[in-house]
Amino acid sequence: MNKITRRNFVNGTLMASGASLLPLKILDSQAAMAALDSSYYPPALTGLRGSHPGSNDHAHALAWGGGSVGGSMTKLSETYDLVVVGGGISGLAAAYFFQQQHGAEKNILILDNHDDFGGHAKRNEHVINGNTYISYGGSQSIVEPKYADRVVLDMFEDIGIDLKRFNSAYDLDFYKRHGLGGVTYFNKEVFGQDKLVQHPYCNYPNYVEGLPGGRLSHEDAAAAAPLSEKGRAQLLRVLNGGLHTLNVQEADLQDYIDNHSYFDYLKNNLGVDDPGVLRMARHSGLDWGNYSAELMSIAEAKSCGAMGFAPKAVYDEENPYIYHYPDGNASIARALVKKLISGVAKGSNAEALVLAQFDYAELDRPGNPVRLRLNSTVVNVRHGGNPASASEALVSYVNGNQSFQVRARNVVMACYNMMIPHIVSDLPKEQAAALSLQTKSPFVYTSVGLKNWRAMKDSGIGVAMSPGNMHQAVLMDFPVSMGGYKFTDSADQPCVIQMISCPFGSFGAEPEAQFREARYRMLSLQFDDYEEEIRRHLSGMLASNLFDFDRDVASISVNRWAHGYTFAGPGDSVRLGRQPFGRVTVANSDSAPGADAKTAVMMAHRAVNELA
């Protein structure tokens, strides 16, 4: 097949190495790192994003090799009241709370290994026909904000997040107005033919507020599936199934579904053995389920809307799934950075920042009370003496291939918790062992800039479940207009679509083993591999008379997160792992454990309160 040569070169090579093209400049051996080049703007980079090439190299060398990384050490003449390891929402919130408690004049340094701040809250910008279209590459929406702690709500108010604004910013009628709903795409490679059926077969699309469900009855949906006659009969039994098929007393039902396997229910209770039906079921929970469905209990499968459970609203009326900025939770990160470093952009609240061009040269400017240093992997934190009585910690990090060290009166570890034992060298063995048990499941959020979405509308695709593909879901982005940004309202206009992949490992393996296998496979793929998969997916799903990949796809951002959703370690390991240690405390949503922005903020608040 033909490649899009220019985009392939830019995305797969130049843009992926953006950090090395625009490095930090060193003033002298005893001075701080200077600001980034004024042209540095990572949200506009496409290609391999998320954990982009190079972002984890030093961390992997440290964790896998167990030795020192980086060249000779330069001890900078920098001492901070607080050093935060990790510039995601939890790390940024930790800096915010420290300022709130100790004063805006306190010196804070935030270090992050990526070329952009925000962690999983990644902003993707696609330039199409000279105009910028905004999307997200990870942390998607503010989940259930009306159940948030007062600490979170007060922070939101202070940084300019107005939750009431989403009531009008989110276009609830968009999908119905354009005839878009939940569908399923069966690909030729797995199911024998490329076929689009106007039914999602699971509850996953229901988290998209305003999206109509499947247009077909269960009987018609089962008959339309490209399965054998036996497979279609089994699929219908699943679609008509549910807890009512269990011969269990009402008083015992909850205990039963908590402790019995979803796949045992499918196989033993509903008599399912068709590989196509089981594959559809396995991929029906996606990121709501955290891991592949054959490992879920019946209760977990029901909760995440796996195949065979009646469609329902995922959230109650008090918490509709509408709290979504055009760039997802990247707007929370941007609002926090603006609060911490006022000169980085113009805008008095989060909505005003939606279209703001951030000046990354301001992030690490000498003289700022808060400095944010990107492309900097922390490789060692140790106390300057006995941890019980030390007055400071020494923080070493690698930027490029050079090592630097700063001093900190306090340290908040707001990074992946499983990395902390490799970084904090004097950590107690029991705590290090507990932290090592924490892990995360991998996922990929791919945003695709289209020059028009006529083929999506013609096919009625709001969300397309795709059980045969790498990306198991394809969806129109959330219809949000705010801050001067206007979401598309015509199929002839450009737009950004989302493709979501939760890669699983070998069927039946334990979660951690599946995560390792899927993570290895994910990171072994190059941009060409992803582009070819996206080409096959979209070209097979969309009508050829309306969609041509080379003509209609303007740009692709593949946001790979090898360590994505939190998967807590066993027993009491989470609590043991997050204990304060001398001048060091532990934040990040891992330490809750959880996987949403509210949790990340609360863990930051706890960690700051625990500082000695």
Task: Read off the pLDDT of residues 106-143 as tens digits, 9 standing for 90 and up.
Answer: 999 999 999 999 999 999 999 999 999 999 999 999 99
pTM comes to: 0.93
pLDDT greater than 80 at residue 184 = yes
pLDDT classification of 2: cutoffs 50, 70, 90: very low
Residue 287 and residue 443 in contact, taking contact as beta carbons nearer than 8 Å: yes
Give the mean pLDDT of 200-217: 90
Q: Is the pLDDT of residue 424 over 50?
A: yes
Q: Is residue 71 part of a domain?
A: yes
Which residues make Cβ contacts (< 8 Å) with residue 219, sequence separation at least 6? 236
The reported pLDDT for the residue numbered 27 is: 37
* Number of structural domains found in the chain: 1
H helices, E strands: number in the chain: 24, 19
DSSP state of 482: B
pLDDT at residue 367 tops 90: yes
- DSSP-assigned beta bridge partners for residue 399: 376, 402
How large is the C-alpha radius of gyration of the chain?
24
> Residue 236 falls within a domain, yes or no?
no
Pairwise CA distance, residues 245 & 309, whole Å: 11
Chain-centroid distance, C-alpha 488: 24
| Parallel/antiparallel/unpaired status of strands 131-136 and 181-186 | unpaired
At residue 34, does pLDDT exceed 50?
A: no
The enclosing domain of 341 has a CATH number of 3.50.50.60
Q: What percent of the chain has pLDDT over 90?
A: 83
Residue 146: closest CA among 329, 319, 322: 319
Whether the pLDDT of residue 26 is over 50: the answer is no
Contacts (Cβ under 8 Å, ≥6 apart) of 415: 85, 86, 91, 378, 423, 588
Inform me whether the pLDDT recorded for 429 exceeds 60: yes
pLDDT of 402-412, one tens digit each?
999 999 999 99
Average pLDDT across the chain, whole number = 91
| Cα–Cα distance, 468 to 470 (Å, whole number) | 7
Would you give the DSSP letter of residue 12?
Answer: I
Question: For residue 52, what are the domain limits?
Answer: 5-122+325-438+568-609
The length of the chain, given as a count of residues: 612
Is residue 316 in a domain? no
Tell whether 317 is covered by a domain: no
Least trusted range by pLDDT, from 99-108, 198-207, 535-544, 595-604: 198-207
pLDDT band (50, 70, 90) for residue 207: confident
- Enumerate the β-bridge partners of residue 118: 88
- pLDDT, residue 65, reads 78
What per-residue confidence (pLDDT) applies to 287? 81
Each residue of 502-517: pLDDT tens digit?
999 999 999 999 999 9
Name the token pair of 579: 């204990």
Q: Is 464 among the domain residues?
A: no
Specify the pairing of strand 553-567 against strand 47-50. parallel
Q: For position 15, what pLDDT does the model report?
A: 35
Identify whether 58 is part of a domain.
Answer: yes
pLDDT in tens, 542-557: 999 999 999 999 999 9
Q: Is the pLDDT of residue 468 over 80?
A: yes
474 bridge partner residues: 464, 499
* SS3 at position 433: helix
> What per-residue confidence (pLDDT) applies to 312?
55
Query: Domain for residue 462, yes or no?
Result: no
Helix (H), strand (E) at residue 406: strand 402-408
Give a three-class secondary structure readout of 238-277: HHCCCHHHCCCCHHHHHHHHHCCEHHHHHHHHCCCCCHHH
Whether residue 24 contacts residue 555, with contact meaning beta carbons closer than 8 Å, is answered with: no
Contacts of 130 (CB under 8 A, 6+ apart): none
The answer to whether the Cα torsion of 331, 333, 339, 341 is positive or negative is negative
In this predicted structure, the answer to whether residue 315 has a pLDDT above a threshold of 60 is: no
Least confident interval from 20-29, 50-59, 113-122, 553-562: 20-29
Q: SS3 sequence, 185-201? A: EECHHHHCCCEEECCCC
For residue 519, being part of any structural domain is answered with: no
Give the whole-angstrom CA distance, residue 231 versus residue 213.
23
Higher model confidence: residue 20 or residue 433? 433
